[in-house]
Chains A and B, each alone.
Chain A
């Protein structure tokens, strides 16, 4: 095990610098990656679907898609990948890293923008840069999908009201023949500026469940 560590160690250091995690955290994440992929090299959708914790989450489909979305990988690409390596895994997870304590205000703004961009990409499934009414409706439907008795009508009403609110707040005055296309990224940032994303959208990255594979689960 000792000799084969030198390769991954360099990779870890690179990754640590790029994403801001510590070496310890990268190692833990690597172990978790190995656990999820059952010691293969690349992560596929079915690996994530096997996680029992995610099974009861109403928005699991979107969470899984986010891992395979090229827009979150930092390149200018669009579309989705079929499988990702460890580097992409860590890149996606770095969106949830809590900001370091002495971050300057400018950096905080950038961090907030990145996190909001991640959320935006999760909603904007057709990659056209705008969240349309249909896409937003789907978001609300998924949120309510765990309640069996709620029909699609109520979800529609809520998403309509929400879109209307966005339109009123961001666009204001419109002529009688204009249509509201959808929520652009700037408008998205504007309506969510009071929800302190940079402090809320974080998780702790210790105590990862990194036990090695036993037979069965």
Chain B
């Protein structure tokens, strides 16, 4: 491991040299001109070169951490990345240059959207809607409480302190409060991703961090305007409240519109499968940018877009596009996150600092205090309306998981120095708070979770029984609510589902997939997964081991049948390897043989399943039916047509 560490140090050094000397390369002025066989022209590629270098550094860092499992088990990745950023910043400074600061425009327009889109697209809808009330309460009321509590107490402290803090007025304190109290989705994701707590707590903290963006945006602009204008009237405050609703609902509306557009577009992409993922990304990014144009909440727009378009797009696009989207989103968001934390470290070294012990220490204490008070107070009210009450342990995790991150830093950086002469002090305080929450809270949350024995996330098996019963429960609960006359959660969800099925799905999903119930798609997906697993494991041509290990011992298949199947598999496998697919940039050739091969394979699997079932499952009454079924299977009767059609639908390429 020492070699690995040495390697990274050398890499860092080399990287910093590249950054430093890159600027100093200028082509020679008109001297005695010999024909330049080899010349350096760094200016030409400077921008993309530096960007690529940074991204490369980030990715290599990520790689490095996972080679050192000891370290990544104790310290969350975000901490390590900040440390790396500090190192890089330090090295650059040592070499005499000023390290680059995290440019707010770069952050908000390039680094943040991938993370939010990834979060929104894969947002687990069911727990989110079930806890929507709680999440909204925490996001809106919790953040408001934090802002005003912090602002007021800070102002009082500044008054008492006198000296350098005397110039800080109430508005500045409130603005500072609004910047620093918002829980940051990037930091929360980075830390919570590694501790695997149960779904409920995860969605509570994470949902809150996403939705409080609307509040933060409104308050930030509000206080900034007030500071600029100088006069605050009651009418202005009232307008602020109206602004909040406009920002939040407007953002959601913009996102929804773009989501519907994306879903509608995806209906017609059956002939141009290659560019399908691009539509998803572009429409979402446009939603974000459009929302930002009007100062609406870009984050909420992005989330709304992802949530709205996902079910329809997934029904329309091919399997390969789905995989592409998934992996691209994960890749971009991962790189973004890494870059953000590294830049945070670098900016710490770079930025102008004005350290004030009182201010910083009070800020940290207040952050913790207001968060705890807010969570406890709100939970007391919320528990009156919740079915599953939040226990003390849950409240502790929610309070402790309120991490601050790069959004706070970037917002502070955007402040103009004229209106806010104490901007440097603010920046220093915010960075300290961020470091404190990420390092201290981030590192200790994992042992605390284990100590308090908080329920962890269950491994989700792909179980058709659970799916059947989840759906059954939904209908059952909707029915019981109907009997009781209670128009509750299930009733409205039932109505929404019906509306969705009857009108929306017909518009946005092309072809026969629009009529497919969720259970069928789930079942098809499961079959596909099993078939793919079998395909992968069958390259060693061992059939009985591949077929679901659970029933391995109980497989009772005739020897010649097995040999036959193995021969077919081997033959097809060779055929695939020999064929060199030429591909053009416009289409992925639909691989017709692939289609038939996998369909045949699935058919064989079906035959196997039939065989197994005829052994296990009682067919009631008639004694001659089991042998009759066996006979039918032996003769290799072609499968029923509609199953075949559903299979081909799944295998569209």
Chain A residues close to B by CB (< 8 Å): 29, 32, 35-36, 48, 51, 53-54, 56-60, 63, 67, 93, 96, 98, 101, 119, 122, 132-134, 139-140, 143-144, 146-147, 149-151, 153-154, 157-158, 160-169, 172-174, 176, 178-182, 191-192, 194-195, 199-210
Contacts of B234 in A (CB 8 A): none
A203 near B481: Cβ-Cβ < 8 Å: yes
Q: Are B483 and A51 in contact (CB under 8 A)?
A: yes
Query: Which residues in window 515-569 of B have CB below 8 A to A?
Result: 515-517, 519-520, 523, 526, 548, 550-551, 553-554, 556
Task: Please list 7 pairs of residues, one from A and one from B, whose beta carbons are closer than 8 Å in the complex, sorted by A's number.
Answer: A63-B476, A119-B469, A154-B646, A182-B618, A195-B473, A205-B484, A207-B488
Q: List the 5 shortest-distance A-B pairs measured between CB atoms, nearest first.
A: A53-B482, A209-B485, A168-B550, A180-B616, A63-B479
Q: B444 interface residue, CB < 8 Å from A?
A: no
Please indicate the chain A residues that have their CB under 8 angstroms from the CB of B388 in the complex. 98, 199
CB–CB B617/A96 < 8 A:
no
Binding site for A on B (CB under 8 A): 383, 387-389, 391, 458, 461, 463-466, 468-473, 475-491, 494, 498, 512, 515-517, 519-520, 523, 526, 548, 550-551, 553-554, 556, 609, 612-613, 615-620, 640, 642-643, 646
Q: Which residue of B lies closest to A177 (CB)?
A: B615
**Closest Cβ–Cβ distance, residue A202 to chain B (whole Å):** 5
Chain B interface mostly helix, strand, loop or mixed? helix
Whole-angstrom distance between the Cβ of B581 and the nearest chain A Cβ? 33
Contact A35 B387 (CB under 8 A): no
CA–CA, A176 and B616, complex, Å:
9
Q: Is the CB of B487 within 8 A of A207?
A: yes
Q: Across the interface, which residues of A come within 8 angstroms of B643, CB to CB? A: 153-154, 157
- Chain A residues with CB below 8 A from B466, complex form: 191-192, 194-195
Which residues of the partner chain A approach B463 to less than 8 Å between Cβ atoms? Answer: 165, 191
Contact, CB under 8 Å: B464 / A54: no
Closest to B477 in A: A203
- Which residues of chain B are near A163, meaning CB under 8 Å? 613, 616-617
Say yes or no: A93-B480 contact (C-beta < 8 A), given A163-B617, A168-B551, A202-B387: yes
Complex Cα distance, B461 from A153, in Å, reads: 25
Q: Which residue of B lies closest to A144 (CB)?
A: B517
Complexed CA–CA distance, A167 and B612 (Å) = 11
Closest to A160 in B: B613
B531 to chain A, nearest CB (A): 13
For A195, give its contact among B470, B485, B548, B609 (CB under 8 Å): B470
Residues of A contacting B489 in the complex (Cβ-Cβ under 8 angstroms) = 204
Residues of chain B within 8 A of A98, CB atoms compared: 387-388
Give the residues in chain A near B548, CB-CB below 8 Å.
168
Q: Is the CB–CB distance between B618 and A180 below 8 Å? A: yes
